[in-house]
Amino acid sequence: MYTDFQQHLEKELAAITEAGLYKNERIIVSPQGAEVTLDSGQTVLNFCANNYLGLSNNPQLVESAKAALDSHGYGMSSVRFICGTTDIHRELEKKIAEFFGTEDTILYAACFDANGGVFEPLLTKEDAIISDSLNHASIIDGVRLCKAARYRFKTADMEDLEQQLIKAQEQRFRLIVTDAVFSMDGHVAPLDKIVELANKYNAMVMIDECHSAGVVGETGRGVTELYDMLGQVEIITGTLGKAFGGAIGGFTTGKKEIIDILRQRSRPYLFSNSIPPLIAAAGIEMINMMNASNGLMDKLRSNIAHFNAGMQAAGFDMKPTQSAICAVMLYDAKLSQEFAARLLDEGIYVIGFYFPVVPREQARIRVQLSAAHEPEHLDKAIAAFTKVGKELGVIE
């Protein structure tokens, strides 16, 4: 039996390789940070991690995780509702709710699980989900697991959203769902207008703050802070795996009845292990740090401004960004790969993206900035981009 299947897989793999889509993983042998060492021995500046606040190797978080290893042990060996909840799991849930101005929070092993487990327990075939066309894969999968009718609107296009809401008026309940920051472009969902339409057409709103929590809004509370709408959407999902420490873990925060139903019925919560206590403890410490000071946010913002100004001055075509994601537009797929490879030779680690990850003829290099970057790191990156850009005829 396996021989046939093996040949089938070999063909599939060959096709992936031929299409240039085979993903090779680069091995890092140092902690995650602004500067990382690869297994080749090369040290490079890292501009492709979601380490927005530079917390992935923050000494305070490492210390709090170590202390929790001593006080609460290594693992929980259980799901939450059997014997997998500690005092610090609950404390982190309350802290997250306080941070976003919501009523309660439920933790998951990852935001992929939070999004995968949010729709099916809440909505049935009588209801409607209206989803942005660029939403994250985990939202798409979560919607697939739910029997509600599905509507899709063009990304951040409010006229199209309105059309879909009109179509969905026959259903009992309506939920609009959108990423807060879109990961390939860096643009922010127009939450003010979305909520306005939701009110007009009697819909609820869910936003995924994975790329915006810790990044967007004066104090990093995400798009609800940016639009001065803290506590005004029904459901927020987010991750502890990006700005919020970078380890692992996800959450859904929002109206308390919603969170309560999820605790009763959300399958990735009911049937999957609790996050380790050390992650909960470091999560609490991370929120305390953010409440105590805006320093990391301020540094990230000044890095974003510095990098974008430098790249524009050098003549690069930058997508306007409202986040720590900067898309350097190259349009041509092959050029994006060649450009990224040459940048690595210059000690700059970035990734070039092309179809199907981004639309055809929209290939780009995505640069992700961090509070861990120093101004000299940014200047080195801009200089390398400029050198390679001239060599490849992208800029003059």
Ligand X SMILES: *Cc1c(COP(=O)(O)O)cnc(C)c1O
Binding site for ligand X (CB under 6 A): 110-112, 115, 136, 138, 179, 183, 208, 210-211, 239, 241, 250
Q: Measured from the CB atom, is 110 or 236 closer to ligand X? A: 110
Q: How far is the CB of 246 from ligand X (least distance, A)?
A: 10
Give the closest residue to 221 by CA, choosing from 102, 92, 108, 135. Answer: 102
Give the closest residue to 263 by CA, choosing from 81, 93, 16, 4. Answer: 81
Between CA 268 and CA 138 the distance in angstroms is: 12
Q: Measured from the CB atom, is 37 or 155 closer to ligand X? A: 155
Between CA 206 and CA 209 the distance in angstroms is: 10
Establish whether 390 is a catalytic residue: no
Establish whether 211 is a catalytic residue: yes
> How do 235-239 and 250-254 pair as beta strands?
antiparallel
Inter-residue contact 297 to 219 (CB < 8 Å): yes
Give the closest residue to 129 by CA, choosing from 63, 73, 160, 175. Answer: 175
Q: Measured from the CB atom, is 111 or 204 closer to ligand X? A: 111
Active-site option among 211, 299, 373, 377:
211
Q: How far is the CB of 239 from ligand X (least distance, A)?
A: 3
Q: How far is the CB of 238 from ligand X (least distance, A)?
A: 8
Paired residues of 237 in beta bridges: 208, 252
Site of tokens 């974003």 = 304
Q: How far is the CB of 212 from ligand X (least distance, A)?
A: 9
Q: Measured from the CB atom, is 54 or 186 closer to ligand X? A: 186
User: Six-digit token pair at 348?
Assistant: 């700059």
Q: Measured from the CB atom, is 279 or 333 closer to ligand X? A: 279
Cite the DSSP H helix spans in 41-148: 59-72, 80-83, 87-100, 111-116, 137-144
Between CA 392 and CA 396 the distance in angstroms is: 10
Query: Looking at beta carbons, which pairs linking 76-79 to residues 24 or more positions away fall under 8 Å?
Result: 76/273, 76/274, 76/275, 76/276, 76/277, 77/273, 78/273, 78/274, 79/269, 79/270, 79/271, 79/272, 79/273, 79/274
Q: How far is the CB of 50 from ligand X (least distance, A)?
A: 7
Give the closest residue to 180 by CA, choosing from 137, 219, 136. Answer: 136
Query: Looking at beta carbons, which pairs linking 253-258 to residues 24 or more positions away fall under 8 Å?
Result: 253/96, 253/97, 253/100, 253/102, 253/104, 253/105, 253/106, 254/102, 254/103, 254/104, 254/206, 255/102, 255/103, 255/104, 256/103, 256/104, 258/122, 258/234
Which residues lie below 8 Å from residue 13, measured CB to CB, with a gap of 6+? 22
Q: How far is the CB of 155 from ligand X (least distance, A)?
A: 13
Q: Measured from the CB atom, is 110 or 195 closer to ligand X? A: 110
Q: Measured from the CB atom, is 241 or 277 closer to ligand X? A: 241
| Amino acid at residue number 357 | V
Active-site option among 183, 266, 323, 336:
183
Inter-residue contact 303 to 373 (CB < 8 Å): yes
Q: How far is the CB of 183 from ligand X (least distance, A)?
A: 5
Q: Measured from the CB atom, is 115 or 308 closer to ligand X? A: 115
Q: How far is the CB of 12 from ligand X (least distance, A)?
A: 25
Establish whether 8 is a catalytic residue: no
Catalytic residues: 183, 211, 242
